[in-house]
Amino acid sequence: RTILLINGPNLNLLGTREPHIYGSTTLADVVSQAETQASELGVKLENFQSNHEGAIIDRLHEARGNVDAIVINPGAFTHTSVAIRDAILGVDIPFVELHISNVHTREPFRHHSYFQDKAVAVICGLGTFGYTAAIEFAAKHMKIKDR
């Protein structure tokens, strides 16, 4: 079983970016913790971060047939990207949508997501613990499709 973790734009700045909202844990910390967790759960973890919409789309296309579940924090593309929505639906891989902050307590433009109606689950407001929760859920509870 393989889980693909995708982080979108500006998440490379995690730990230093608006720490009052996103905390002080870095993306490197999140990824190394996720890797440890995945090996404990006996799953393979692939990790990808990009600030570019097209690069995220290309990575999703590569995942087709190779990945069982996706955990994605699309960053600001959550609120703007029909193209990433179409890509994730196009490759037909079940996914968890994840936000570090509680987007519903923030600006109104963050309340809409192009992913929420298609996600198996949406996690927000748990801080970086959301990644741990999402990976555990993906590893233990998401159905594997025949391929």
Residues tagged active-site? 22, 99
- Which of 49, 50, 78, 128 contacts ligand DQA by CB under 6 A? 78
50 binds ligand DQA (CB under 6 A): no
Q: Are 80 and 114 in contact (CB under 8 A)?
A: yes
- Which of 15, 62, 110, 137 contacts ligand DQA by CB under 6 A? 110
- Which of 1, 2, 10, 119 contacts ligand DQA by CB under 6 A? 10
Q: Contact region for ligand DQA (CB under 6 A) — 28-36, 37-45, 57-65, 71-79?
A: 71-79
93 binds ligand DQA (CB under 6 A): no
Q: Contact region for ligand DQA (CB under 6 A) — 46-54, 55-63, 94-102, 137-145?
A: 94-102
Kindly state the smallest distance separating residue 101's Cβ from ligand DQA, in Å.
3
- Which of 91, 93, 103, 134 contacts ligand DQA by CB under 6 A? 103
27 binds ligand DQA (CB under 6 A): no
SS3 string of the chain? CEEEEEECCCHHHCCCCCHHHHCCCCHHHHHHHHHHHHHHHCCEEEEEECCCHHHHHHHHHHHCCCCCEEEEECHHHHHCCHHHHHHHHHCCCCEEEEECCCHHHCCHHHCCCCCCCCCCEEEECCCCHHHHHHHHHHHHHCCCCCC
Q: Are 46 and 6 in contact (CB under 8 A)?
A: no
Residues of this chain that bind ligand DQA (CB under 6 A): 10, 73, 75-76, 78, 99-101, 103, 110
